[in-house]
């Protein structure tokens, strides 16, 4: 083992490793403090060549290794639970180039999302991925988790923003696929296999990312709606009236406004009368009069009873204030106390029926649980969360598994997904056999054993073990 460690250290270079428990510690605990890992060796390579050398040694010696980016993942995928070597890509953080005319940014895996956004802005363009964790998460992590966020409605998940990829395979060979081609049907589109693979099939070292023109105008509105059904109809209405220029459509329940107003500084209810539900709407484009268009469409929506009231941000500061409410919901939930969370998706049209059925089922089985259902209605993705009844945090969390089953079984009835954007990691691995067919799981296992035949890449994550009778 000492020999392997010495070889790995040599491959990573003089400054490319740490055995200092103090330096390693922050990499072993994640954002929610839900998981605690252990590892005695942190590798910090600065080039693809170094990553390739490291994986070559791991492959030859059968040494397990866990890739990590910004450590903001919410399902424990980036945590080494069994003393594996930790491979941090954070030191591979160069922007390799921006092609303004081709609208492509080439970034290494460790570039922080906010820095990639800033580089795009500097070039007069935009990189549209927008997450609450953008100050810490990395491009490599965003690709490995196929991150979603607030602009999926218009620009898609990370998968649709990746044009080319550089990947080091489990045996240390490099798949050089940095070819930003909109059209390339020359065989299997291999990069897709690594997007969303959560570090289990290969290590992403760099990517070509799609950039977009910056919209000249961004309009943000906040509307009170009587029900999720009205919100769904309002979504279609606003898409039609803006010619598809919506970039966000977020559902917010009354309780979230109350929690945020109570716990978060500078946040308050933007509308005069309380309403059971709200939506935050963002439209963006470079057409003249977009704001007037949105205002007129909302006026008509009120006449048609799709909305009860609405306010439009008059300037950027007001727009930020409205987004601040939406982006503070998780934090407000945390300050309020314990909560059980589900990151689910169902077909967009099923959202109202799903909310009704699943909320009732939880109310019947877990009396007093307070539903805080919010999220990306336009993508069919809800953060279907429940806060504990006041003062009952501990007993509440003991119901975690049972509530997950109750909710996820209903998600399955609606042909939905038990992980819309956060992934499977360690947290949801053992739920998969209940919700995915054995054929799908077999195909996943086939991929895993082909790309990682010695099971050294992030072992134990995503793929549930085969249970033998
Ligand atoms: P890490 O957490 O370090 O790793 C995540 C997974 O990717 C692990 O399985 C790891 O092994 C693997 N990995 C990391 N880098 C590589 C690499 N270079 N090659 C191969 N595998 C790799 N997610 C959303 O989708 N939408 C949201 O709106 C959203 N909001 C968030 C808000 C907050 C406040 C927080 C804390 C998290 C949020 N997340 C969200 C989750 C998280 O930020 C994303 O999953 C993000 O993409 C993870 O990036 P990371 O660099 O931190 O990856
Ligand atoms: Zn989300």
Ligand 1 pocket test, candidate residues 136, 145, 326, 458, most atoms within 8 A of CB: 145
H-only helix segments in 225-374:
228-242, 254-263, 290-303, 316-327, 329-336, 351-365
Task: Report the sign of the C-alpha dihedral through residues 35, 40, 46, 48, in that order.
Answer: negative
Contacts of residue 236, defined as CB under 8 A and 6 or more positions apart, other chains included, come to: none
The predicted-structure confidence for 361-378, as pLDDT tens digits, reads as follows 999 999 999 999 999 999
Q: Reduce the secondary structure of 88-147 to three states and give it as a string.
A: ECCCCCCEEEEECCCCEEEEECCCEHHHHHHHHHHCCEECCCCCCCCCCCEHHHHHHCCC
Q: What is the rounded CA–CA span in Å between residue 329 and residue 344?
A: 17
The number of the ligand nearest the C-alpha atom of 81 reads 1
Ligand 1 binding residues, C-beta < 6 A:
31, 66-74, 77-78, 89, 109, 131-133, 137-138, 140-142, 144-145, 147-149, 198-199, 203-204, 421-422, 425, 458
Which residue, by CA, sits nearest to atom 21 of ligand 1? 199
Q: Residue 277: beta bridge partners? A: 225, 253
Q: Quote the tokens at residue 228.
A: 């999720």
Lowest mean pLDDT: which of 62-66, 265-269, 378-382?
265-269
Q: Quote the tokens at residue 320.
A: 């930020």
Which residue, by CA, sits nearest to atom 22 of ligand 1? 199
Q: How many CB atoms lie within 10 A of CB 190?
A: 13
The predicted-structure confidence for 205-242, as pLDDT tens digits, reads as follows 999 999 999 999 999 999 999 999 999 999 999 999 99
Q: Quote the tokens at residue 457.
A: 């890449």
Burial class (CB in 10 A: 0-12, 13-18, 19+), 247: buried
User: Confidence class of residue 33 from pLDDT cuts 50, 70 and 90?
Assistant: confident
Q: Residue 383: beta bridge partners? A: 343, 374
Q: Quote the pTM value.
A: 0.96
Q: Using the mean position of ligand 1's atoms as its centre, give its distance from the Cα of residue 307 in Å.
A: 35
| Residues 178, 206 contacting (CB under 8 angstroms) | yes
Measured from the Cα of 140, ligand 1's closest atom is 18
Q: Using the mean position of ligand 2's atoms as its centre, give its distance from the Cα of residue 344 in Å.
A: 10
Q: Which of 324, 327, 310 is nearest to 266 (CA)?
A: 324
Q: Nearest 5°: CA angle at 350, between 374 and 348?
A: 65
| Residues 417, 411 contacting (CB under 8 angstroms) | yes
Residue 1, pLDDT > 80, answer: no
Domains, the chain? 95-212 (3.30.465.10), 217-330 (3.30.70.2190), 336-413 (3.30.70.2740)
Q: Using the mean position of ligand 1's atoms as its centre, give its distance from the Cα of residue 112 in Å.
A: 11
218: left (phi over 0), alpha (psi -120 to 50) or beta: beta
User: Confidence class of residue 257 from pLDDT cuts 50, 70 and 90?
Assistant: very high
């Amino acid at each position: 083992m000492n020999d392997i460690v010495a070889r790995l250290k040599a491959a990573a270079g003089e400054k490319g490793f740490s055995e200092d428990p103090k330096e390693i510690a922050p990499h072993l605990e994640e954002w929610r403090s839900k998981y605690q890992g252990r590892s005695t060796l942190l590798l910090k390579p600065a080039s693809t060549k170094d990553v390739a050398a490291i994986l070559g040694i791991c492959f030859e010696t059968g040494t397990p290794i866990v890739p990590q980016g910004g450590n903001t993942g919410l399902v424990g995928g980036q945590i080494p639970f069994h003393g594996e070597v930790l491979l941090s890509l954070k030191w591979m953080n160069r922007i390799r180039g921006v092609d303004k005319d081709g609208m492509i940014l080439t970034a290494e895996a460790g570039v922080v999302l906010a820095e990639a956004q800033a580089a795009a802005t500097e070039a007069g363009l935009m990189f549209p991925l927008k997450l609450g964790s953008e100050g810490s998460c990395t491009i490599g992590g965003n690709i490995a988790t196929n991150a979603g966020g607030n602009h999926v409605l218009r620009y898609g998940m990370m998968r649709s923003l990746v044009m080319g990829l550089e990947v080091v395979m489990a045996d240390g060979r490099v798949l050089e696929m940095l070819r930003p081609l909109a059209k390339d049907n020359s065989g299997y589109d291999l990069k897709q296999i690594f997007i969303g693979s959560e570090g289990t099939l290969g290590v992403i070292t760099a990517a070509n990312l799609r950039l977009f023109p910056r919209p000249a105008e961004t309009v943000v509105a906040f509307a009170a709606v009587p029900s999720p059904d009205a919100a769904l109809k309002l979504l279609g209405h606003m898409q039609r009236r803006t010619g598809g220029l919506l970039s966000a459509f977020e559902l917010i329940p009354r309780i979230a406004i109350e929690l945020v107003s109570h716990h978060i500084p500078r946040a308050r209810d933007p509308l005069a009368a309380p309403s059971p539900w709200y939506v935050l709407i963002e439209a963006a484009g470079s057409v003249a009069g977009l704001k007037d268009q949105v205002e007129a469409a909302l006026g008509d929506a009120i006449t048609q009873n799709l909305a009860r009231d609405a306010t439009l941000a008059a300037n950027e500061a007001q727009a930020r204030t409205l987004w601040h409410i939406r982006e503070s919901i998780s934090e407000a939930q945390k300050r309020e106390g314990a909560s059980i969370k589900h990151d689910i998706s169902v077909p967009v049209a099923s959202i109202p029926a799903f909310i009704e059925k699943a909320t009732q089922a939880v109310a019947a089985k877990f009396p007093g649980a307070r539903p805080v259902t919010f999220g990306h209605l336009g993508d069919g993705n809800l953060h279907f969360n429940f806060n504990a009844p006041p003062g009952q945090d501990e007993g509440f969390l003991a119901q975690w598994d049972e509530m997950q089953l109750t909710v996820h079984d209903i998600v399955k009835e609606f042909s939905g997904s038990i992980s819309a954007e956060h992934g499977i990691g360690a947290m949801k691995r053992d739920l998969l056999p209940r919700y995915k067919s054995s054929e799908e799981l077999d195909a996943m296992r086939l991929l895993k054993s082909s790309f990682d035949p010695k099971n050294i890449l992030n072992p134990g994550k995503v793929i549930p073990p085969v249970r033998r009778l």
